[in-house]
Structure 1
Amino acid sequence: MEKLIEIVEKEAKILANPIMLMLQKEIKFEEKVIKYLQDEDVATAVSQILASLRASIRSMLLLASQDLDSMMAKDSLPIARSVIEGCINATFIMAQGKNVANDALDHTVFKGFRNTDRSAGKGAHKVSLHRIPKIEPHDDLSELIEKFTNKKGRAKNWTDLSVPQRIECIEPVFGRTCATSLSMAYLMVYSDASEIIHSSVTGAKIANGTIAFSRYPRTQNDHMTIQKSHIEGALLSSFIALDSVLRAFCKYTKFTSFEVTLDKQLNQFKDFCENDFQ
């Protein structure tokens, strides 16, 4: 698994190239000056997501380096889910352009205001948090409140589309391979990660391997194999998603020279899957 960790770690490092290009608008890559000439709102939204993904990958790699006997491996799956959905969101924003990017950025302002006045529970056990002094929304903020609040007064998401629907919007722009790879990464961990996040009994049984239809893990080696599979699933799915969003970025920005670096990474990944993965 050390080779897989090394490959994913390198993939996280090269995320710096698109992040810096979108932030600085111009970078030097392999002795050539590369310029970002696309939409500014897309750059702002996507660079924020990619920077967050880079940090999440580091967290996952820390878990991957721990003793598999400690049962921390399960927590790599929710991190992988975050990475994968981030890759899908970034690719979706690039595919849809300025309007969707603007929605995503507007939603951050709305949520920032919304979080100043929150409550949970009902009746005697209801608790509330309020900012003092209270913020009075200006005209622009009032428009965002109306835009992102449903008829029941609940906050709406930044997009009405589900994750699979976002992937459907990606295919016409970035191709079938990109959309299929993102769907594969989504399929690999999303459901199990959700159960683990919610700490359901099902999530607990997924974590320790007792949800299997066949025999339960009976030996220390069985247990270690389950933990290893969690880490490997998280790393494999994350790499697939990262490769997809980076290739979409190359197409969106016409940063074709960066594809050579991605191809080298993908070849190492394929070599691992064919020769080292057990």
Structure 2
Amino acid sequence: MQTGSPPCPNPLLVEVLQEQLELLRISLFVATQGPAEMAGTQLRCSLEPPIINASQPIAMCAGQSVNTILRCLDWRGIPVRDLYPIARSAVESFINAAFLVSQDSAASERALRYVKFRQWKQHNRTVGEGVFTLKLSSSGSPADSPPTEFKEFTGKGQDMWTTLALPSRINRVGQAAGRKAGSRLLAAYTLIYSVSSEVIHGSPFGVSYFYSTGAPTSVEEFRQSTVGQMEDMLVAVAHAAAGYLATFYTSQGMKTAASIEQELFNKLLALEGVEPQ
């Protein structure tokens, strides 16, 4: 029987993520605080206020989730399962932030209005089915009768901050910010979305996938297999971060930062045995 802890996830992959987080911090600073200098060039953000207000908190949260995962690199075995929702949140947050950054202000303005609607809906909704139904109301009015100010969020398929599904948002990013940005987000979505859904929702397949990936025959082999699963999550969030950073820096015409992001992404591709772009 093997003894000792299984090896850590690839340190080069961790290094790429840490450098991506530094680029993310710079983008957040430039968008919310003002111009900055990088390699002798001025970085100046031209995003309109609604886009900044809607997109940057989401991008910040995505980075925080990546940091959380990086703090858990020594986890092995059963606890690794609980990193799936964090990785999924990071990926979706990067996609959403990239979508808002790449679109006109109308998308962000709707997203900001949705926040108020969702605050109302949290306390005015119907939950359950049949005799096991709860009707929540903070105003005494029917839960399906929102105030007039929320009229745009009534009707089938209209009660979300965007009417576009995640793949459609990725497509819009690719159309606006280029194929590189779109393809990186698509890769992240492909790597994490389906499996994380099964794990998060506690499906039979989700449980089977987590415990049987790599067909472990001992506790140590299972612990080793979870290192591989953690690496899969890290690769997914790295692709998502790359997609967001490519979207932000390309759309803002920050060529120096975009070039640095490309170099980092090429390192990621090299780790995966893929030719650089």
TM-score class, shorter-chain normalisation, is 0.7 to 0.9
Aligned residue in 2 for 1:116: 123
Distance, in Å, in 2 between the alignment partners of 1:250 and 1:20 is: 13
The one-letter code sitting in structure 1 at the alignment partner of 2:249 is C
Asked if the contact 1:63–1:72 (Cα under 8 Å) also holds between the matched residues in 2, the reply is no
Q: Which one of 49, 65, 75 corresponds to residue 74 of structure 2? A: 65
Aligned residue in 2 for 1:232: 231
| Equivalent residue runs for 1:27-106 within 5 Å | 27-66=36-75, 68-69=76-77, 71-106=78-113
Unaligned runs of 5+ in 2: 1-8
Unaligned runs of 5+ in 1: none
The one-letter code sitting in structure 2 at the alignment partner of 1:51 is M
Distance, in Å, in 2 between the alignment partners of 1:269 and 1:167 is: 20
Aligned residue in 2 for 1:14: 23
Asked if the contact 1:76–1:230 (Cα under 8 Å) also holds between the matched residues in 2, the reply is no
Distance, in Å, in 2 between the alignment partners of 1:232 and 1:10 is: 17
Q: Which one of 107, 119, 131 corresponds to residue 114 of structure 2? A: 107
How far did 1:249 drift? 0.6
Say which is worse superposed, 16-25 or 71-80, in terms of deviation.
71-80
| Equivalent residue runs for 1:1-278 within 5 Å | 1=9, 2-66=11-75, 68-69=76-77, 71-122=78-129, 125-127=132-134, 129-131=136-138, 134=139, 142-150=147-155, 156-209=159-212, 216-274=215-273
Output one character per residue of 1:32-53: Cα deviation in whole Å (capped at 9) or x when no partner. Answer: 4422223221111111111110
| Distance verdict in 2 for CA 1:135–1:59, change over 3 Å | farther
Q: Could you state the TM-score of these two structures normalised by the residue count of structure 2?
A: 0.83
Q: Secondary structure at the match of 2:37?
A: strand
How far did 1:175 drift? 1.9
Asked if the contact 1:83–1:238 (Cα under 8 Å) also holds between the matched residues in 2, the reply is yes
How far did 1:221 drift? 4.3
How far did 1:125 drift? 4.1
| Distance verdict in 2 for CA 1:31–1:74, change over 3 Å | same
Distance, in Å, in 1 between the alignment partners of 2:148 and 2:109 is: 14
Q: Could you state the TM-score of these two structures normalised by the residue count of structure 1?
A: 0.83
How far did 1:12 drift? 1.9
Distance, in Å, in 2 between the alignment partners of 1:172 and 1:155 is: 23
How far did 1:122 drift? 4.7
How many residues align structurally?
Answer: 261
